[in-house]
């Protein structure tokens, strides 16, 4: 295959819309969010500024915990605003089941936790989502009474290229 033909395969752009639910376990018997650092101001400010956590949250097809695994959201979040609870997010959605198994979407952005609807950027991806770009609208679907388990709904719109010639980029 020539380089021109290989490059042409990347020009087949596709729009994909996804809805999934993140099971955010911040406490209880099996937490999936772990504090790794904090600033001298974290316990003083109502915004918890400076708190940094790593996470490995289950992603499901429905809001129920047992609704079927799609993947995991893994990465780093930090509270980065002096005045309100707002996260800076650097996370990857790693698909572990279904048609996108083995693919990823990379999410980067500010997530204001007090807003009903929040928008973060899709800045890349792998596998089925190579060269991805788009956005995710997140909202809190549910939080238990003890505030140890939250369910976050993600509505994703992502543009990516269909690569039918994976691995065939060298000139023949």
pLDDT (0 to 100) of residue 5: 57
The band of 2, judged by pLDDT with boundaries at 50, 70 and 90, is low
Phi-psi sector, 16: left (phi>0), alpha (psi -120 to 50), beta: beta
Over 80: is that where the pLDDT of 105 sits? yes
Over 90: is that where the pLDDT of 158 sits? yes
DSSP for 42-102? TTTSTT-TT-EEEEEEEEESSSSTTS-EEEEEEEEEEE--SSS-EEEEEEEEEE-SGGGTT
- The CATH number of the domain holding residue 60 is 2.40.480.10
Within-domain flag for 69: yes
Within-domain flag for 169: no
Task: Give the model confidence (pLDDT) of 55-74 as tens digits.
Answer: 999 999 999 999 999 999 99
The band of 93, judged by pLDDT with boundaries at 50, 70 and 90, is very high
Domain limits at 141?
14-161
Average pLDDT over residues 1-16: 67
Over 50: is that where the pLDDT of 172 sits? no
Predicted TM-score (pTM) of this structure? 0.86
Within-domain flag for 154: yes
Within-domain flag for 155: yes
Within-domain flag for 60: yes
Within-domain flag for 5: no
Assess contact for 108 and 92: CB atoms under 8 A.
Answer: no
Within-domain flag for 20: yes
Domain count, the chain: 1
Query: In angstroms, rounded to a whole number, what is the distance separating the alpha carbons of residues 52 and 84?
Result: 15
Within-domain flag for 102: yes
């Amino acid at each position: 295959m020539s380089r021109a033909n290989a490059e042409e395969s990347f020009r087949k752009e596709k729009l994909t819309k996804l809805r999934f639910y993140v099971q955010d376990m911040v406490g209880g018997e099996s937490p999936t969010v772990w504090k790794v650092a904090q600033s001298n101001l974290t316990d003083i400010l109502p915004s918890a500024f400076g708190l940094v956590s790593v996470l490995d949250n289950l992603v499901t097809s429905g809001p129920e915990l047992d609704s079927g695994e799609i993947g995991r959201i893994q990465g780093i979040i930090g509270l980065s605003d002096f005045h309100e609870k707002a996260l800076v997010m650097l996370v990857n959605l790693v698909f572990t089941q279904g048609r996108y198994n083995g693919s990823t979407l990379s999410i980067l952005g500010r997530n204001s936790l007090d807003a009903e609807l929040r928008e973060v950027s899709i800045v890349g991806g792998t596998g089925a989502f190579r060269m991805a770009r788009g956005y995710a609208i997140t909202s809190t679907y549910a939080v238990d009474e003890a505030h140890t388990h939250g369910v976050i709904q993600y509505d994703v719109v992502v543009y990516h290229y269909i690569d039918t010639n994976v691995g065939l980029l060298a000139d023949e």
